[in-house]
Chain A
């Protein structure tokens, strides 16, 4: 009996198993060349073959050495199921097959002593999302005619910036008209969907550039005033000095990466940025800082961020800030002052049991300086994280957004610090519906990240396919700095897909506003919604319908 090492990793432990059809393979080698994870390799096998050379059958056995494509079985170069090999194979000879009985994460941890990391979203949720249990149930009929999505005009704009209560706006009456006595905090009216913060570094420069191109195109050609958040880690100087900066929300996180470049570029800026977003936390890995692994810190990233090639860890908190009041004073004041109080400054926190307290507190901010509350729930996630954080920490967004809105209603301060929420928006591929429902529940707008990657060609899904964003080997060039892989991404095509998607979203948003008879965003109009789930209805304080 042969010896067997039961503790060794075997093919049946892996997430994905390569199904290889030897008889179809012409050994072109494309799959091996295409797999960025080195999860397959060309090997030789000794094969027994029965042949007959004579006119009459005269079988004889020969042994041959033949080249084959084999799956690699180890903890580092394992198949991610991305399907790139299948995509490139001209003969349908190879494909990954999901292994429902895998035990890979246990094996990985027990061998490496290292937490398992991956990209993508939470993998545990299998039931329908909360938003899918909500419908737009209040349809205008005879007494309040619905509008015509084609013919009527709609005001699809949301405020970004600190909105003052009317009695605090420094108005005086001159000749029967209101005039402003002095400046007030800046408020920008923008599209209610923001392309969420994904850093140049986490994304490849081509992906990031494609987003920036799509943003500029949507603004300048399509008339959709969408904004894009830079993510942490800086912005190319060329962009900082260009007029396109006005479409960019610059982010600063606890690592402060890239900010010296931004500050240095200030004298040369011809436009103000669209806003500043101070990231306190993110929903995909709440309580964790950012992590850009050294392998993704390519030369241009080093330049933009002003760092050497090393793991770039943003601490989980902003050092030196120990209370909400302090954060208001230090961060908001300083960043407002930096741009001479012309640029709205907002804050992004991970949705959590405590976010309502934070929001309540900010609403009472005496400086009127917080220009937006970005609330990020689980189910987002574009970059790398520890799996344990992705799957087991965080707070779903819908009820938390609702709680924040109702807390503002309770204070009579709804709308004063615009609420923006994200975390799985567009997960069912329909961003307009998600945005609309969130707005009815009280959001001024939403932001979205992962969906943008999926529009760009990310092959990942929520069932463990690919999710290799942490490896720096993204097979489609989206979140990698590897020049060979990055070249796989067609910038123009990606930009075009994103633009087209937003054109359809814009149309769909109107298609949802028209039947409820609203020509401006129905912020807080939860009476327009019904829930088909009693628990959801009760929790969100909306009508239950069955």
Chain B
């Protein structure tokens, strides 16, 4: 089973926190991978908040291909950072030759472009690079967005941490929001794109479970937006629905839960907003999910939330202090990172609930 976690803090944190969060839940995952998305970056990226960062794992040829595409589109490289790697023979990891995080300046022609135009450009370019890299298996591009970087690797999470030197805290790599998953997606092939967290235009989602409505979700999502591609994992559907409901339809976040796990009709009928809920249920029937799931999501503004399937068939717990909040699969993870919190405040969300943590670290419980 996947173990997932999200840390949100007022302070910039080092990814070692995420590794520790995951390691204590180790018995629950199969050591087939580790992946994380860092948002609201500090360290070497702190001064580039508005500039998009491309997260890339690739061969030398892949690097050249990406460079060409970026150059052709008019992007200018501002800064490049790569983690120092520590190859050892005994490490269980299948690394790529290069891990690169490129900070880029938008093309000149976009000087007066709107936020939306820039956002579309980033998706277009990422998809273009992805496609070009796929031709000869030259690499993977995970995210292309301001203030966000993504790392995904196949292997034992402890060893992955070792390889990238992530167990030692330093000032280079830091973020206020870190989401992480241990274990690759094992339902299908082990491919890097299949690892959570999934990211699109400022939205991050990761899930523990199985989406039995995967086929319905995918068939519907394929037509909704150009960025809904890949579908290497059934959990990607949760990200796309989040993006669709919140970014494209511009509905308030609470409707995400109404879309993926609609209330039973009996309960809908008792509510004042029944007509709205029935409309949503009819219109987005193909985005409903079924099957056991816990989802953690992050919005572009830094809001972090969690919710479950309609039967609450997968665990999740939320623990927090004044300056840090954690959502993760098992409480052992939180105990490791926040041993001194008031554990009586821990929240085990129910099947009708969303737990939402805003930028003031306020923890809210929304009932569906």
Could you list which residues of chain A lie within 8 angstroms of chain B, going by C-beta atoms? 140, 143-145, 147, 152-153, 155, 157, 159, 161, 163-167, 169, 171, 173, 176-180, 184, 187, 189, 409, 411-412, 414-415, 516-520, 522-527
Contact = CB atoms under 8 A, between A and B. Distances in A.
Contacts of B282: 159, 161, 163, 187, 189, 415
B226 interface: no
Interface string B233-256: 000000000000000111110110
Contacts of B223: 409, 411-412
A519 B289 CA distance: 10
Nearest to B258: A178
A161 B285 CA distance: 14
Contacts of A159: 282, 285
A178 B215 contact: no
A525 B265 contact: no
Contact of B292 (A144, A409, A522, A526): A144
B10 to A, nearest CB: 25
Contacts of B262: 520
A172 to B, nearest CB: 10
Contact of B290 (A180, A519, A524): A519
Nearest to B293: A144
A144 B209 contact: yes
B279 A143 contact: no
A166 B265 contact: no
Interface centre among A166, A169, A171, A525 (most CB of B within 10 A): A166
A164 B284 CA distance: 9
Contacts of B224: 412
Contacts of A147: 311
B283 A169 contact: yes
B284 A166 contact: yes
Interface string B270-300: 0001011011101111101011100000000
A234 B217 CA distance: 42
B213 interface: yes
Interface string B210-228: 1011111001101110000
Nearest to B292: A144
A164 B252 contact: no
B44 interface: no
B252 A516 contact: no
Contacts of B250: 173
B230 interface: no
Contacts of B280: 166, 169, 178
Nearest to B277: A178
The 6 residue pairs across chains A and B that have the minimum distance between CB atoms: A412-B223, A144-B210, A163-B282, A527-B215, A144-B291, A166-B283
A409 B221 CA distance: 10
Nearest to B210: A144
Nearest to A167: B249
Contacts of B248: 167
Given A140-B212, A165-B283, A180 B252 contact: no
A252 B312 CA distance: 47
Contacts of B286: 414-415, 523-524
A189 B313 contact: no
B252 A525 contact: no
Contacts of B212: 140, 144, 516-518, 525
Contacts of A409: 219-220, 223
Given A173-B251, A411-B223, 9 more contacts: A140-B212, A143-B1, A159-B282, A179-B276, A409-B220, A412-B220, A415-B282, A520-B290, A522-B290
Contacts, number: 115
A143 B30 CA distance: 14
Nearest to A178: B276
A145 B292 CA distance: 7
Nearest to A409: B219
Interface residues of B, number: 42
Given A166-B284, A178-B252, A180-B279, A527 B214 contact: yes
A171 B252 contact: no
Contacts of A516: 212
Contact of B251 (A157, A171, A525): A171
B310 interface: yes
A216 B346 CA distance: 50
Contacts of A523: 216, 285-286
A152 B311 contact: yes
A143 B215 contact: no
A3 B53 CA distance: 104
Nearest to B269: A189
Which of A144, A157, A176 has the most chain B CB atoms closer than 10 A to its own CB? A144
A152 B292 CA distance: 14
A177 to B, nearest CB: 7
A178 B292 CA distance: 28
21 contacts: A140-B291, A143-B1, A144-B209, A144-B210, A144-B291, A145-B292, A145-B313, A152-B311, A153-B264, A157-B265, A163-B282, A164-B279, A164-B283, A171-B276, A176-B254, A178-B273, A180-B276, A187-B278, A520-B290, A522-B290, A524-B286
A412 B222 contact: yes
Contacts of B214: 527
A153 B285 CA distance: 18
A275 B35 CA distance: 52
A522 B214 CA distance: 11
Given A167-B249, A187-B278, A526-B215, A517 B291 contact: yes
Contacts of A180: 275-276, 279
Nearest to B283: A166
B279 A169 contact: yes
Contacts of B275: 180
Contacts of B219: 409, 414, 524
B214 to A, nearest CB: 7
Contacts of A411: 223
Contacts of B1: 143
Interface in B180-230: 209-210, 212-216, 219-220, 222-224
Nearest to B276: A178
A177 B210 CA distance: 30
Q: Which of B264, B290, B311 has the most CB of A within 10 A?
A: B290
A291 to B, nearest CB: 38
A228 B215 CA distance: 32
A145 to B, nearest CB: 6
A519 B311 contact: yes
A525 B264 contact: no
A143 B255 contact: no
Given A157-B265, A180-B279, A524 B215 contact: yes
Contact of A525 (B213, B220, B266): B213
Contact of B252 (A173, A415, A519, A524): A173
A525 B215 contact: yes
Contact of A163 (B251, B283, B311): B283
A179 B275 CA distance: 9
Contacts of B283: 163-166, 169, 415
A319 to B, nearest CB: 34
B264 A524 contact: no
Nearest to B213: A525
B340 to A, nearest CB: 35
Contacts of A161: 282
Contacts of A163: 282-283, 285
B220 A414 contact: yes
Contacts of A173: 250-252
B221 to A, nearest CB: 9
A507 B3 CA distance: 37
Nearest to A165: B283
Which of A145, A179, A518, A520: most chain B CB closer than 10 A?
A520
